Structure 1
Amino acid sequence: MNLIKKLFPKKVETTPVEPLTAYQLLGGEAGVRALANDFYDIMESAPEAADLYAIHPLPLDAIRQKFFEFLSGWTGGPPLFEEKYGHPRLRARHLPFKVDCKMRDQWMFCMNKALDRQVGNVEVREQMRASLDQLASHMRNQ
């Protein structure tokens, strides 16, 4: 009798395991919402983001919700933004605003702080940071 059959007499059926999405790794709805809210909390309070904060309509409740809905789908969770508003078309949606290097850097300042606070898994945090950095750079229109 060969060694494999001796050690494993019954064949075990295995099902491939799907990798977890960023949405799941962030803690699902609660984790993604915490990231979105922390981003706006930082924007509201950090002097480093004053110019970025100044271009946002107040109160920030509606934009917080939209950002959460966008991040939900972007991280592999429910496509809440698309269900309500259609394809994000982020660059087109941001064309009415002056998005230069300064605004991009202020946005990333807030996002980096939020990622540092909300995402404990270093690998997930750094992958998200790199992806969001590319996305923020793509939004530049000046």
Structure 2
Amino acid sequence: MATQADNATADPAAAPRSPFERIGGHEAMHRITERFYDLMENAPEYAELRAMHAPDLAPMRASLPSFLAGWAGGPRDWFNTNPGKCMVSMHSPFPIDRNTAGQWAEAMQRAIRESEVADREIADAMADVLANMARGMAKG
């Protein structure tokens, strides 16, 4: 008698989909990233956050979708390219306080909310987890 796990192995369509797949894959991660950095660059409420970043956001615009993909269960290219690194360790040199952490969290939640995604429920859950992670980086 076949178990449900056996059936999932035999039928890839029956296997649970990762959050990366559910949200819409690379395309959705790129839309979210573009909206996030557009907000950071143009919305005055994120000015302090923007000031902490390099003048040219192009490298981060290119890197963040790959990080989000791997973090959400998709291809792990970012993690393979950056072995042993994580977002917390990469941001530890920056003077992140509650205000700037809150700006990041709010901008990411807004970017996800305003982006076209395949599964709104998983996108909203991802927004909440990322916001909590950002707020957890605040020093003091």
TM-score by length of 1: 0.83
Which whole-Å CA distance do the structure 2 matches of 1:90 and 1:121 have between them? 25
Tell me, yes or no, if the aligned pair for 1:90 and 1:139 is still in contact at 8 Å: no
Q: Deviations over 1:26-47 (max 9, x none)?
A: 2111111111111101111111
Gaps of 5+ in 2: 9-13
Aligned counterpart in structure 2 of residue 26 of structure 1, from 7, 23, 35: 23
Q: State the partner residue of 1:40.
A: 37
Aligned counterpart in structure 2 of residue 117 of structure 1, from 114, 119, 134: 114
- Which structure would you say has the larger Rg? 1
Does 2:102 correspond to 1:105?
yes
What is the deviation of 1:63?
Answer: 1.0
TM-score by length of 2: 0.84
Q: Percent identity?
A: 29
**Equivalent pairs, count:** 132
4+ runs of 1 displaced by more than 4 Å? 11-14
Gaps of 5+ in 1: 1-10
RMSD value over aligned CA atoms? 2.0
